A and B are shown apart, each in its own frame.
Chain A
């Protein structure tokens, strides 16, 4: 019963945070939309100058692309769902998650670059065909990947939870806080450090891939335009600038999520045992939330 309450509270907390960090606030929305419009106009101006043969226009182009990425990420976006959810659920350092946020933004840019390069030169696709592919195929794929990571969190949490229950039954009469047990060969109780253990690189690359699978429309616009204009290299540079702008927001979300998780854990725990008990609940709660939202989105976009 207590575990259920903890799960409910944590899930509610995590959901609330996700909505908050994802910018469901009216002011943020208005500001992001207005900013995007302004950035879009600036991008067009720089591209026109570039097209007319003014190499100096590259500087404003990159600046405007960065701004576009920033505003785009400040509005609705799914990278934040995953990075924020993950940071809230798993023991992962702020630095490490920030690197993941940056890497996934850059990888997302690379996906757009690869899609347009292949579509434009190898396949001879039209702009509509490329945005269509991004929309119909990569979008649901991206959400499905995120839902899977949510389920992975649930599975991890459930496994640790069950292991702990089983261990508790075995442990009558034993010393309860025996942390050295993990070294005793056949550990019954999960070592808190292992349960809450730092996220491995495999898990983190899955995060990056899940975000990266789905390129953003703004980058596709820019890349197709520059490919047609014969200045694709500047489109690539602009896309990277956009990714850095996006990363600025997702890194902020990552820091907020890690901070929140630490706050919850520190506020509720008075020892390693508590952490061991809370960590699975945290993972299950956030995992369910992430899988539920992303799964629904994957189905809706199919």
Chain B
């Protein structure tokens, strides 16, 4: 059991009930966002995102592989995440925790379900060879709200990704490293995470706020205006009104978030 959150719980909850936050932000205000792309030259696409003091490095590595038997002409896109022990004193080395698996899967769902990457264009030879794009999240500094930071970071890395041109000649894949193409993107998406503290829904929780949250909701919305992913977390319930109010705010915030790209 963590003792500090129990002590700070009261003061944070009081502040929020009075309509204030410890760092002076409004209830629906994001912290500063800083995105830098092309930070790893060995990766085909990469980005470093800072959301407040949360920091994530995202790398995209494509590989040539075989398509899944049920989708022979479709490429593969996979997102993985690791909450590194360096990012927080409570993160443990070893097999990925439930939290890090949830994070990676929610971000993956947001990117994949938005159908922003045209996976058919990642097919090199139907039934034989396709591009498999692996997106890896390296969480290096945890200061709250990994979901939104990770999604935006992945988005930035995908937009930065260049694939070499691959052709299928005589049962073999020939790669031309000198010529590249952009990853075929047809949409964008961003995520907005709210936590419920007391009776209020608070956007972009800082670490302290996250440590005492009653419930959390993350909402992924595409630039074209669809909800593409959603996930509730936390050990307490949300009301129907909490959810619909958050969806409304998220719709107004997503264009703002995407401006950072």
Q: Do A and B bind each other?
A: no
**Could you tell me which A residues sit within 8 Å of B by CB distance?**
none
Show the binding face of B for A, using Cβ within 8 Å: none
